[in-house]
Amino acid sequence: MTTIRLAVDLRAAALTILAGREPDWTRLEQCSAATWQVFFRTERCALALKTRLTAAGCAVSERARAEIERAATRELQRILSARGQLLRIGQLAAAHDIPAIVLKGGAAALMSAAPVDVYDVDVLVRPHQAEQLAALLDKEGFHATGPAGTSHLAQRVTTNTVQIEVHFALNDVELSDAMWNRARPLDGAAGLSRLGAADHLWHLLVHSVVSHPHRRGSLRDVMLAAQAVRDCSPAELEEVERRSAGHWLARALRDLLAMARELAAGGPVRDRFRRQAAANYLLRVWLGWVRFSRFWTGAFSNSVFALLDGAGERQHEWRLAWSRPQFGSPWGFAARLERRAPRLGRWCRSAVRVVRLIACRVVAWPVAVAARVLASRQWNDEATP
């Protein structure tokens, strides 16, 4: 539990540094390598942290400096790989007249002076051109791996590079012709564009809050949203605020936007996602050695964060469990049953999802309670009151 408590303290100190101020490091001298690793795997902010510490001339222990340097090097390697992949995609897109929009962290990797960590490269193309771009990548030496998603084809990979996802839609965001028309070319990257400023910020907020609940408030995503805030005009920010206010997850969206705006303005930044961060650290330390099946992992993680985030999300989980599936089952037996007896297959699938939800709630409850207790510990620093 000491590792998790110190990781919570590291988050508070890192947020203070990223806001341009210097925290009291004395409480963090005892952080072990394991604590730093848990923190950086969750928050993915090592490169930015190293940059700010160097610029401010902050004195840190040798152990801390070594862990920051190690994690920052890994992040920089992935960013450089992403840049190379995107430039390669841009050349293919331009040569074959395929409009391509770079999404999320990939856009920052190409255009920002302060890029953030990336695990993969997301490129959006028109639905009828997605397979064409994927085939062009395959001819360049990539190959498909893993299943396709509801908004993207199977990932494309090659040796020692970040993965590529060719998107034909956006999860939890309605893609319209107006969004395509508002896209802007990326300077220095022929064949590639980015979403309009407001659309880009909105997509970042929705991707973190709605599509991936475990990433709510991660420092990497807060930094990325802060960069997008700086790119928006006051009118565009008002538009994003209106979209947030009308969403069923309005509070979480507004909280992430508020943190991004505070960070973009130079702080101080009030941490509105301490409980979610503590839950992530708990899951990594307590359950990191467990290899769940695809059937359980997402459901369990979602249950933990639903218990932390209020009654509305818990009710939404139940509605999803009982709702009619929009897509066929990825499991062979269930898919065959749905084809032969559609009504029975759908009923059985919903029943399984409800039983799974009940089981996940039981296991998730102690994790959520522990996260609340850990998050209640106050960091004695004005940046995170």
Residue 178's domain is classified under what CATH number?
Answer: 3.30.460.40
What pLDDT sits at residue 123? 98
Mean pLDDT within 77-82: 96
Radius of gyration of the chain (CA): 21
Given a cut of 60, is residue 255 above it in pLDDT? yes
User: Which of 70-74, 211-215, 259-263, 345-349 shows the lowest per-residue confidence on average (mean pLDDT)?
Assistant: 345-349
Token digits for 263?
Answer: 């960070």
Instruction: For 29-71, write each residue's pLDDT tens digit.
Output: 778 899 999 999 999 999 999 999 888 777 788 888 899 999 9
Of residues 169, 149, 166, the one with CA closest to residue 157: 166
What pLDDT sits at residue 331? 53
205 in any annotated domain: yes
Question: Given pLDDT bands bounded at 50, 70 and 90, which one contains residue 383?
Answer: very low
CA torsion, ordered 294, 299, 305, 308, to nearest 10 deg: -150
Helices (H), the chain: 2-18, 33-43, 46-56, 62-95, 105-111, 130-139, 177-182, 197-206, 219-230, 234-245, 250-264, 274-287, 294-309, 311-322, 332-340, 342-375
What pLDDT sits at residue 61? 82
Given a cut of 80, is residue 97 above it in pLDDT? yes
Mean pLDDT within 102-122: 94
| Cα 91 to chain centroid, rounded | 27
Is the model more confident about 349 or about 270? Answer: 270
Given a cut of 80, is residue 257 above it in pLDDT? yes
DSSP class of residue 151 equals S
Mean pLDDT within 285-296: 59
372 in any annotated domain: no
User: Which of 91-100, 101-110, 366-375 shows the lowest per-residue confidence on average (mean pLDDT)?
Assistant: 366-375
How far apart, in whole angstroms, are the C-alpha atoms of residue 162 and residue 145? 13
Question: Given pLDDT bands bounded at 50, 70 and 90, which one contains residue 146?
Answer: confident
Backbone angles phi, psi at 102, to 5 degrees: -85, 135
How far apart, in whole angstroms, are the C-alpha atoms of residue 292 and residue 60? 37
Mean pLDDT within 379-385: 42
To the nearest whole percent, how much of the chain has pLDDT over 70? 86
Domain that residue 256 falls in = 2-287
64 in any annotated domain: yes
What pLDDT sits at residue 222? 98
On whether the CB atoms of residues 191 and 197 are closer than 8 A, the answer is no
Left, alpha or beta for 280 (phi > 0: left; psi -120 to 50: alpha)?
alpha
206 in any annotated domain: yes
160 in any annotated domain: yes
Mean pLDDT within 284-302: 67
What pLDDT sits at residue 382? 40
Q: How many domains does the chain have?
A: 1
360 in any annotated domain: no
377 in any annotated domain: no
Mean pLDDT of the chain: 87
Given a cut of 50, is residue 75 above it in pLDDT? yes
To the nearest whole percent, how much of the chain has pLDDT over 90? 62
How far apart, in whole angstroms, are the C-alpha atoms of residue 56 and residue 44? 20
User: Which of 132-141, 167-176, 316-325, 373-382 shows the lowest per-residue confidence on average (mean pLDDT)?
Assistant: 373-382
Instruction: For 209-246, write each residue's pLDDT tens digit.
Output: 999 988 999 999 999 999 999 999 999 999 999 999 99
159 in any annotated domain: yes
